[in-house]
Structure 1
């Protein structure tokens, strides 16, 4: 334990009780959604899909990455995040940096979720998993499209880098 940071940790722990409650509420919402979908799947006799192939895993990973970055970072999706976040600067091409507006509670937790692509990935992968059970063809179509878009983004960035290198 680093003693130099102990007072800071103590202050953080007393200020973060409401923040912790926000995280608990967000996890409860996630758990509730998964439980409802599980019950709905059982009631409708949905069969779990077979194991994903390597291709499906790669497509799903690329699609989740793209959906997550689009929701959490794209300038065009700022209105979705606006009730929970505030502008904190520019990000990568077409992206913005934001931080949670609220300092605590569920509003902060949602703000964190909507500004962190790594955090949001869990929700996106859960959505794709649910989609594979209830609407596999539509889910594959969306995943393929999002994976293609992630590939196109990579090519755009690669082209811009190559152009900068060529211009010296």
Structure 2
């Protein structure tokens, strides 16, 4: 049992939250409540997808093939980088980020703007690793709800990712030749 604000609680989740907050208070300031809100939104989205699927009678596939898994891996990678780093998608991130510098072939580094939800969304939108969870979940749900169009989109994203590697290899070979 713990005591906070003059009240005792037996709830282990509340106790754990307080313990985490105390640990973080000793170091760098982190917006844990905003991160928790993002986790809550993600969980609500996944729950809503599950509820819609159940209401529509959508059945989960028995299993995913290795080819589906590889396709989703490559498509998730490319979509995450496209959304979080590509110069061409910077207008989508602009309300939450500020341009900092070019970092490579068609990619940019951006800093997060503002405070509160704006800052937290900016952090999500500039992190391909963080965004990958959301993209992967969306593509995986697409494989259940609309597998044909999801495979088409995933194949296109995978082709673009492969093209990126070929372009970079070609450019590297050109530079080595000179």
Work out whether the TM-score is over 0.5. Answer: yes
Q: Give 1:116's match in structure 2, choosing from 107, 119, 127.
A: 127
Q: What's the counterpart of residue 76 of structure 2?
A: 64
Q: What's the counterpart of residue 3 of structure 1?
A: none
DSSP 3-state at the match of 1:91:
strand
Give the Cα separation in 2 of the matches to 1:98 and 1:82: 9
Conserved? CA contact 1:64–1:124, under 8 Å:
yes
Q: Gapped runs of 5+ residues in structure 1?
A: 1-7
Q: Deviations over 1:4-61 (max 9, x none)?
A: xxxx973523xx3xx2221111111111111111111111110002322222111111
DSSP 3-state at the match of 1:12:
coil
DSSP 3-state at the match of 2:59:
coil
1:87 aligns with 2:103: no
1:134 aligns with 2:150: no
Give the Cα separation in 1 of the matches to 2:99 and 2:28: 24
How big is the alpha-carbon RMSD for the aligned residues of Structure 1 and Structure 2?
1.5
DSSP 3-state at the match of 2:28:
helix
Q: Point out the structure with max Rg over C-alpha.
A: 2
Q: What's the counterpart of residue 33 of structure 1?
A: 45
Q: Which moved more, 1:73-82 or 1:84-93?
A: 84-93
Q: CA deviation at 1:65?
A: 0.6
Give the Cα separation in 2 of the matches to 1:144 and 1:96: 25
Give the Cα separation in 2 of the matches to 1:97 and 1:90: 6
Q: CA deviation at 1:98?
A: 0.8
1:20 aligns with 2:20: no
1:106 aligns with 2:80: no
DSSP 3-state at the match of 2:98:
strand
Q: Gapped runs of 5+ residues in structure 2?
A: 1-23
Higher RCO by CA contacts (8 Å cutoff, separation 6 or greater): 1
Q: Deviations over 1:125-162 (max 9, x none)?
A: 00011101111100000001100110001000000000
Q: Deviations over 1:80-125 (max 9, x none)?
A: 00011111211120010012112x4222211111101011000000
DSSP 3-state at the match of 1:47:
coil
Aligned length: 155
